[in-house]
Structure 1
Amino acid sequence: MKPASRLNLFAVAILLAVPATASAESARSLQKEFPRLEVTKSAINLRELQSGGVPRDGIPAILDPQFLPVSEVTGLGDDEPVIFLSGTCGAYAFPYRILIWHEIVQHDQCGLPVAVTYCPLCNTSMVFDRRVGGTVLSFGTSGRLRHSDLVMYDHQTETLWQQFTGEAIVGSHVGKTLAPVPARIESWRRFREEFADGRVLIPPSWGRSAYGRTPYEGYDSAPTPFLYQGRMPRGIDPMARVVRVGTRAWSLTWLRKNSPVETADGLRLEWREGQNSALDRAAISRGKDIGNVRVTRGDVDVAFSVDFAFAYRAFYPEGELVK
């Protein structure tokens, strides 16, 4: 059995429901599902949008997150990945075992309204400031993909937003970009050791998902990405991970061999072992070790993501990639 065919649960439903050459989006179909969306304002060709096999909010965002103190959390494997924010109000961790089923979590971090997002198909985790033009937005999943990446929508105007870049791509907010917020992506063990008084996202009471298991078993080893029809990157496997800061990226394999790395403009990139992939084995706690990455400038965290190489090249075809 090929690795790509081992995607299970709702991912299997997606594969069965949507052919590899899924039909492109049309203004009419978008308007039907998003009646307040200004489809005439678009930064892209609508044909670049594809159905991900689920309808609007078919993957439900968490809009009212609940947390428990680190000391009360059980069941998480030591090396399971979490993305977390820290500040004067404390540290908050968002386990991938939950994010992989919901993709968007609305949160208030020390008075800053943020959206914690994760697209499994691109392996992209980003935290965004939800404030746009004096309005605080909230986000849901549109059921659409572009370059295999999550397309979000805001509840206020139904504008469509690209999760990979934070850009508004269709709707009244076209021309605007969500500001990224620095966050760390590390293992549960590293988070709880550094922030013993931190708090951790728990599954919503209405959730019915198999938290702790990935619906994308084997996707790490897939020969090609799902529902991606663009050009593949040269000189690197399309499913290889890269560490992205702005428009620049470094191969995770290269960083692993050369860590720590310091750039001319003051960035420091470090790799340390001990973090499970969320897209490998069925149980996330048994996923292969992809390691922890930290990106700083001086003593300050810098916003970054760890993406699949195909996605980086799709959105930044001229970007600088050290591989």
Structure 2
Amino acid sequence: MRMTHLIAATAIAMSGAVVSASADPAFWKFEWPNTNFDITSVESWVEVLSGGPPKDGIPALDEVSFISVESEARLEDLEPVITVEIDGAVPRTYPIRYLTWHEIANDTVAGIPIAVTFCPLCNSGITFDRRVDGQTLSFGVSGKLRNSDMIMYDRETESWWQQAIGTGIVGEYTGAELKQLPTWMESWAEFKARNPEGLVMDEPPWPRQYGRNPYVGYDSSTRPFLYNGEMPPYDIPALARVVRVGDKAWTFERLRKEEEITEDGITLTWRAGQASALDQYTIGDGRDVGSVRVKDAQGNDLPHDVMFAFAFHAFFPEGDWKQN
């Protein structure tokens, strides 16, 4: 898909024009009067851009409801979902068809306040514990991007947080790190086969075209949207999917060939059966990119992310590319 089509789709979907901002943080203070811009780890404000929608223009979800697996009839089998399985709670999953339009779901599972997040522009789907220094935070979508990745904000201090790394970058919580939980993206068919008594997030009560992909063909593009940083090394395509575990990355291309890789004390497995959320107009019709699980030597699920290669390189410029 050509970038002009992506811009048009984004404008239609989110009802905002894509604009760049001044490199002076004073530009943002009018919109964010409660954010302390004097405390920041952002070295160059040129990196921060408006993605189009204003603050909360993409509405995060705060009241999430669930239905039983057997009651869900809208999802296609290959549709991607983010699965949360925490001891003491019924397994539950959050469909990407909803997170594409909301990007954050604030929830509580087994007494743990969590934020399930998805940034379509870098394919990053991460679940965080919302507790920081004894305070429970609630997250919203700022409408800002850095390295094409969503900047979240907490409603308590209006500090800004980088979604791909779970780190505060502007305001009181600059330098603070959210704990990433060991959740994963898989197909709806995989979740319901493993958890027939599980729960699935119900359709939110918002006027959105749920099930539609507003970024048709994006993961077949040659360049990321609103990104001016370096491209990945080793001739890895910018929008190739990689599995990030800490500061290490394994390409999906290698995983598809080997199906199982055990390195550095962890095991990654790949299997077919999950649609790309960023390919076809209807998410369930997306091409099969497969699903990945990441476990430690004892078989425990590990925190990880499936993101685009450009985003890994942007946030981990000295990262370890596990090529062989």
Shorter-chain-normalised TM-score: which range?
over 0.9
Q: Which runs of 5+ in 2 are unaligned?
A: none
Equivalent-residue separation in structure 2 for 1:108 and 1:93 (angstroms): 13
Identity within the alignment, %: 42
For the pair 1:146 / 2:159, whether they are aligned, the reply is no
CA distance in 2, matches of 1:197, 1:16: 40
Judging changes above 3 Å, is the alpha-carbon distance between structure 1 residues 5 and 65 closer, same or farther for their aligned structure 2 residues? same
TM-score (norm 2): 0.95
- One-letter amino acid matched to 2:309: A
For residues 60-79 of structure 1, the aligned pairs below 5 Å read 60-79=59-78
* Counterpart Cα distance in 2 of 1:107 and 1:116: 8
Asked if the contact 1:4/1:218 (under 8 Å) is kept, the reply is: no
The CA deviation at 1:34 is 1.7
**Partner amino acid, structure 2, of 1:105:** A
- The amino acid that maps onto 1:178 is L
CA offset at residue 132 of structure 1? 0.6
Deviations 1:225-274 (A, max 9, x none): 0000111112200011100001100001101111211113x201000000
Give the secondary structure class of the aligned counterpart of 2:161: strand
Q: Does 1:12 align with 2:11?
A: yes
The residue number in structure 1 matching 2:109 is 109
SS at match of 1:290: coil
Q: How does 1:302-317 map to 2 (within 5 A)?
A: 302-317=302-317
Q: Quick one: which amino acid aligns to residue 43 of structure 1?
A: S
Secondary structure, aligned partner of 1:90? coil
| Cα separation, 1, equivalents of 2:176 and 2:7 | 36
Contact 2:184 2:305 in 1 (8 A): no
Whichever residue aligns with residue 41 of structure 2, its letter is A
Is 1:23 equivalent to 2:21 in the alignment?
yes
Question: 1:237 corresponds to which residue?
Answer: 237
Does 2:129 match 1:129?
A: yes
Paired with 1:93 and 1:18, the residues of 2 have a C-alpha distance of 31
Q: Is the 8 A contact 1:4 1:223 kept in 2?
A: no
SS in 2 for 1:17: coil
**C-alpha displacement at 1:310, in angstroms?**
0.5
Partners of 1:258 and 1:287 lie apart in 2 by 23
Q: 1:24 to 1:314 in 2, by over 3 A?
A: farther
Q: Find the counterpart in structure 1 of residue 37 from structure 2.
A: 39
Q: Is the 8 A contact 2:11 2:52 kept in 1?
A: no
| CA–CA separation in structure 1 for the residues paired with 2:75 and 2:15 | 29
| 8 Å CA contact 2:11, 2:18 repeated in 1 | no
Deviation, structure 1 residue 159 = 0.2
User: Any residues of structure 2 matched to 1:82-231 within 5 Å, and which?
Assistant: 82-87=81-86, 88-205=88-205, 207-231=206-230
Q: CA deviation at 1:76?
A: 0.5
SS in 2 for 1:98: helix
Q: Secondary structure at the match of 2:85?
A: strand
Aligned-residue offset at 1:288:
0.3
CA contact 1:3–1:221 (8 Å) conserved in 2: no
User: What SS does structure 2 have at the residue aligned with 1:299?
Assistant: coil
Counterpart of 1:271 in structure 2 is 270
Gap regions ≥5 residues in structure 1:
none
**Structure 1 residue 31 displacement after superposition:** 1.8
Q: Secondary structure at the match of 1:300?
A: coil
Q: Provide the C-alpha distance between the structure 2 equivalents of 1:47 and 1:101, rounded to a whole number of angstroms.
A: 26
> For the structure 1 residues 10 and 107, does the alpha-carbon distance in structure 2 shift closer, same or farther, using more than 3 Å as the test?
farther
Aligned-pair CA distance for 1:184: 1.9
The code of the aligned residue for 1:62 comes to L
Aligned partners of 1:39 and 1:171 also within 8 Å = yes
What secondary structure sits across from 1:192 in the alignment?
helix
Match in the other structure for 2:256: 256
Q: Are the equivalent residues in 2 in contact too, given 1:182–1:301 (CA < 8 A)?
A: yes
Q: Secondary structure at the match of 1:254?
A: helix
1:121 counterpart letter in structure 2: L
Q: TM-score, normalised by structure 1?
A: 0.95
User: Is 1:289 the counterpart of 2:259 in the alignment?
Assistant: no
